[in-house]
């Protein structure tokens, strides 16, 4: 039997205290609402409708790559009103309809599928997902009849003292049979909030002779709704814990795992070691046996096998090939590529530059828009002057070249294979292969100068 999923995501989310719409707050780099959409797809939904309102345009843009359609709720008149807006988007669809929220990111596709299946299995017109809580304050209470079926859900605001003692609460996730759209028209807003409550459908289904049943959620965490940034942090903590655990079970070593942040898009191989405080984001991939040192941040960066990224390295859009090394305190910017066995060390910045196999830049250098040949040695403090104020230019350093400390290579310029550059030189012309390029004031020593100076005083 087919089912559609409607995700309600029109709310303002004022308690987030943010200019960003609530459902766009990121969890591990992905907007909260995308988790709901992915669960809906995973449940086998034929169609997915997202009801947007507050920040509608931004929400639609964020979900542009997902196979969903949108419905608009201009005014937030309640959860039933929100669902009514989806009717048109589902025109011609005859199956069951599931309702979830854009702010319940831990709900799994499996639980949704289970809910849909319960309609037939339990011969019900409506199924709701419930939870038994120590403290049910704030939630709608599930009132069951003698046969165990659900007779009503009463909102906190409308509940009497007796009802408030009930600890089984409504999670707000439902499955309905195809009568939904007809019955939805019978919902009125005669209650303490003056809102159209989705929960009123319990009585309406019953009045039409259908059973309403509650399915108890297996994992209470799954139903955590995000209303504040504290909730957001709690959900992110749970997602991270699951992710780290999964990688550890696949052979990744994490030292003080609770301090490591990584996103679901990251890929790790066996025998990768991550030291405390490591942050791995986006399309980062780390190969077998590689080590990432403490407090390093890697974004969209590829590290091949047996490479070593030492502590406090910050890399974005970089490639570190097998056996290469970076850091501590290396800065790799987009287009940085360290070939096999290359090494860049302390306070070396690399941007749009290829560092050839076995080449080394140990300390305090800037290599921008450059090509460094195999086995070349870059002295401490060397920089490429790659920008003339208008355009960027390239620097080529040949195989086995040796660049002295504090040299400036003013691009475009080329240092040939095996050539040397004297320390402190400002190189504006090409240095031929095998030559020594020196460009600096000649040293002059004035004998006895210090003694003379002292006598004059």
Least Å distance between CB 302 and ligand UD1? Answer: 38
Enumerate binding residues for ligand UD1 (CB under 6 A).
Answer: 8-11, 51, 73, 76-79, 81-82, 101-103, 139-140, 153, 155, 169-172, 197-199, 225
Rounded-to-integer distance, Cα 86 and Cα 88, Å: 6
Nearer to ligand UD1, 8 or 376 (CB): 8
Ligand-binding annotation for 400, yes or no, is: no
Nearer to ligand UD1, 225 or 282 (CB): 225
Rounded-to-integer distance, Cα 322 and Cα 342, Å: 9
- Taking alpha carbons only, the member of 89, 82, 47 closest to residue 66 is 47
Q: Which tokens in the block code for residue 108?
A: 């799994």
Distance, CA of 322 to chain centre: 26
Least Å distance between CB 157 and ligand UD1? Answer: 9
Nearer to ligand UD1, 226 or 403 (CB): 226
Nearer to ligand UD1, 227 or 346 (CB): 227
- Taking alpha carbons only, the member of 44, 45, 25 closest to residue 35 is 25
- Taking alpha carbons only, the member of 71, 353, 111 closest to residue 223 is 111
Ligand-binding annotation for 239, yes or no, is: no
Ligand-binding annotation for 78, yes or no, is: yes
By the 8 A CB rule, do 377 and 360 touch? yes
Which residues on neighbouring strands pair with residue 233, listed in sequence order?
none
DSSP classification of residue 443: P
Rounded-to-integer distance, Cα 332 and Cα 389, Å: 22
Ligand-binding annotation for 45, yes or no, is: no
- Rounded (10°) angle between helices 109-121 and 32-42: 50
Residue 266's alpha-carbon distances to 32, 247, 261, 275, 301, in angstroms, are: 18, 10, 11, 16, 10
Nearer to ligand UD1, 105 or 416 (CB): 105
Least Å distance between CB 82 and ligand UD1? Answer: 3
Ligand-binding annotation for 101, yes or no, is: yes
- Taking alpha carbons only, the member of 315, 272, 309 closest to residue 294 is 309
Q: Which tokens in the block code for residue 436?
A: 């020594």
Annotated catalytic sites, by residue? Answer: 363
Cβ contacts of 15 within 8 Å, gap of 6 or more: 227, 228
Ligand-binding annotation for 35, yes or no, is: no
Least Å distance between CB 284 and ligand UD1? Answer: 32
Ligand-binding annotation for 445, yes or no, is: no
Least Å distance between CB 169 and ligand UD1? Answer: 5
Least Å distance between CB 36 and ligand UD1? Answer: 10
- Taking alpha carbons only, the member of 448, 418, 445, 447 closest to residue 433 is 418
Nearer to ligand UD1, 9 or 372 (CB): 9
Q: What is the β-pairing status of strands 314-316 and 325-326?
A: unpaired
Query: Residue ranges for the binding site?
Result: 8-11, 22, 73, 78-79, 101-103, 140, 155, 170, 227, 333, 351, 366, 377, 380, 386-387, 405, 423, 440
Query: Residue ranges for the binding site for Mg(2+)?
Result: 103, 227
Query: Residue ranges for the binding site for acetyl-CoA?
Result: 380, 386-387, 405, 423, 440
Query: Residue ranges for the binding site for UDP-N-acetyl-alpha-D-glucosamine?
Result: 8-11, 22, 73, 78-79, 101-103, 140, 155, 170, 227, 333, 351, 366, 377
């Amino acid at each position: 039997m087919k089912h559609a999923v409607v995700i309600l995501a029109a709310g303002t989310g004022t308690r987030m205290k943010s200019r960003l719409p609530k459902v766009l707050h990121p969890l591990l780099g992905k907007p909260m609402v995308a988790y709901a959409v992915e669960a809906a797809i995973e449940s086998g939904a034929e169609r997915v409708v997202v009801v947007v309102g507050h920040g509608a345009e931004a929400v639609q843009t964020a979900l542009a790559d997902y196979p969903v359609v949108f419905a608009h709720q201009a005014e937030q008149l309640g959860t039933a009103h929100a669902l009514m807006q989806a009717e048109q988007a589902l025109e011609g669809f005859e199956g069951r309809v599931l309702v979830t929220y854009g702010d319940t990111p831990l709900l799994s596709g499996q639980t949704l599928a289970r809910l849909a299946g319960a309609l037939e299995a339990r011969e019900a017109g409506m199924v709701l997902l419930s939870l038994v809580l120590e403290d049910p304050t704030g939630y709608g209470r599930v009132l069951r009849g003698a046969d165990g079926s659900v007779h009503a859900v009463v909102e906190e605001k409308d509940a009497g003292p007796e009802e408030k003692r009930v600890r089984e609460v409504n999670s707000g996730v439902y499955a309905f049979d195809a009568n939904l759209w007809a019955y939805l028209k019978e919902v009125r807003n005669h209650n303490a909030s003056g809102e159209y409550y989705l929960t009123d459908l319990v009585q309406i289904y019953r009045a039409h002779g259908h059973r309403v049943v509650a399915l108890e959620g297996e994992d209470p965490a799954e139903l955590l709704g995000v209303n504040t940034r504290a909730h957001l942090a709690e959900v992110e903590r749970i997602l991270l814990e699951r992710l780290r655990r999964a990688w550890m079970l696949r052979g990744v070593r994490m030292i003080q795992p609770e301090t490591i942040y990584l996103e679901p898009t990251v890929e790790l191989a066996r025998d990768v070691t991550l030291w405390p405080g490591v942050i791995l984001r986006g399309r980062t991939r780390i190969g077998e046996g590689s080590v990432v040192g403490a407090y390093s941040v890697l974004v969209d960066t590829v590290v091949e096998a047996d490479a070593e990224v030492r502590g406090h390295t910050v890399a974005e859009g970089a490639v570190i090939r097998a056996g290469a090394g970076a850091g501590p305190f290396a800065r790799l910017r987009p287009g940085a590529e360290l070939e096999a066995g290359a090494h860049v060390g302390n306070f070396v910045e690399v941007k749009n530059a290829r560092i050839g196999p076995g080449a080394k830049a140990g300390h305090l250098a800037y290599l921008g828009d450059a090509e460094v040949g195999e086995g070349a040695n870059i002295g401490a403090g060397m920089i490429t002057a790659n920008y003339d104020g208008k355009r960027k230019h390239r620097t080529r350093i040949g195989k086995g070249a040796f660049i002295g400390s504090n040299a400036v290579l003013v691009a475009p310029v080329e240092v040939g294979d095996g050539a040397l550059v004297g320390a402190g030189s400002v190189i504006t012309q090409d240095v031929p292969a095998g030559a020594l390029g020196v460009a600096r004031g000649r040293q002059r020593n004035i004998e006895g100068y210090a003694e003379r100076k002292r006598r004059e005083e």
